[in-house]
């Protein structure tokens, strides 16, 4: 006769996980952090290289480490044309961002809130600059400026950047407009608010996060652009164009200084924004 197996022992033997799945689960738990750390390391290596070599005591070529120095940070504008090119990039980025953000916000509101002829066609046309390769877009704009007899310079760069930035602004703000609750604006109109008052006191503050995100994206795209700029800049240099030209004869360490300063400034802006947001949320939580 066979002895009966206790029910408790049978349940433990049936439902207790085997060692193999536990090992696989443990490996997954270890593998994901390792993969994430390696991906971040891969992404941060160029930034770390740029920052470290901004302190390199180099000559014409800033490739091999020659020693630590602060001279490159103190003499950043000694390289001919560098600060002028950087200033041009800032000017183009700010002007094209302001124009593209203003026009793109109005277009986004019109596309979401109103029904008119050719609305679908306009939406499709706004996506074309995003889908078109930059080489094709830059060459097409250069040919158009040539046909019109427009001299290439800062004006043509601003027009070109504004054109492709509008598409990104429209897409970003359009999503924000579509998420707004119409009841909030209707409540403002019920309280005898004029259309102008409803827009500036209700609609615009609600749209402001989306508009700010679109403006930051637009400025980043404009500041970083090289291909379209190279086709339409003429003799005017921007920061990316200066780096491309300097690469043939050796990129000076001052370029690393400006790139590092821009990166650190972006980090500071993000940290300040996050701290302000957390403080505001904490303050609102105390009030409630």
Q: CATH number of the domain at 93-236, please? A: 1.10.3720.10
Q: What is the CA radius of gyration of the chain?
A: 28
Are 250 and 62 a contacting pair, CB within 8 Å?
A: yes
Across 194-232, b (16+ Cβ under 10 Å) vs e yields: eeeebbeebbeeebeebbeebbebbbebbbebbbbbbbb
- Beta-bridged to residue 56, according to DSSP, are 68
Mean pLDDT of 214-225: 93
pLDDT in tens, 16-67: 555 656 666 666 667 788 888 899 889 889 889 889 988 988 877 777 788 8
Are 164 and 141 a contacting pair, CB within 8 Å?
A: no
Where do the domains of the chain lie?
A: 93-236
The model scores a pTM over 0.85 = no
Mean pLDDT of 77-105: 93
pLDDT in tens, 170-203: 999 999 998 888 888 888 888 888 888 888 988 8
Distance CA(286)–CA(80), nearest Å, equals 55
- Which among 41, 65, 45 is positioned nearest to 55, based on CA atoms? 65
Task: Return the pLDDT at 193.
Answer: 83
Please determine, for residue 1, whether its predicted confidence score (pLDDT) is greater than 50: no
């Amino acid at each position: 006769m066979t002895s009966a197996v206790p029910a408790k022992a049978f349940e433990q033997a049936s439902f207790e996980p085997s060692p193999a799945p536990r090992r696989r689960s443990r490996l997954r738990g270890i593998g994901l952090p390792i993969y994430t750390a390696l991906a971040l390391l891969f992404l941060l290596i160029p930034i770390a290289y740029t920052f470290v070599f901004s302190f390199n005591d180099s000559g014409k070529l800033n490739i091999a480490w020659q020693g630590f120095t602060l001279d490159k940070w103190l003499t950043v504008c000694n390289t001919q044309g560098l600060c002028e090119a950087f200033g041009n990039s800032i000017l183009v980025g700010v002007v094209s961002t302001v124009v593209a953000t203003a026009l793109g916000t109005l277009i986004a509101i019109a596309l979401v809130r109103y029904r008119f002829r050719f609305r679908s066609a306009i939406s499709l046309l706004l996506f074309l600059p995003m889908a078109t390769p930059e080489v094709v877009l830059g060459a097409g704009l250069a040919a158009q400026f040539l046909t019109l007899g427009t001299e290439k310079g800062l004006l043509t760069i601003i027009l070109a950047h504004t054109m492709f930035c509008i598409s990104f602004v429209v897409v970003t703000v359009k999503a924000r407009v579509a998420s707004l609750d119409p009841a909030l604006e209707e409540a403002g109109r019920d309280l005898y608010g004029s259309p102008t008052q409803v827009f500036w006191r209700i609609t615009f503050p609600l749209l402001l996060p989306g508009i700010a995100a679109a403006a930051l994206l637009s400025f980043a795209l404009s500041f970083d652009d090289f291909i379209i700029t190279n086709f339409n800049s003429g003799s005017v240099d921007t920061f990316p164009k200066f780096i491309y030209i300097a690469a043939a004869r050796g990129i000076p360490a001052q370029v690393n200084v400006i790139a590092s300063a821009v990166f650190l400034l972006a980090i500071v802006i993000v940290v300040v924004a996050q701290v302000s947001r957390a403080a505001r949320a904490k303050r609102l939580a105390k009030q409630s």
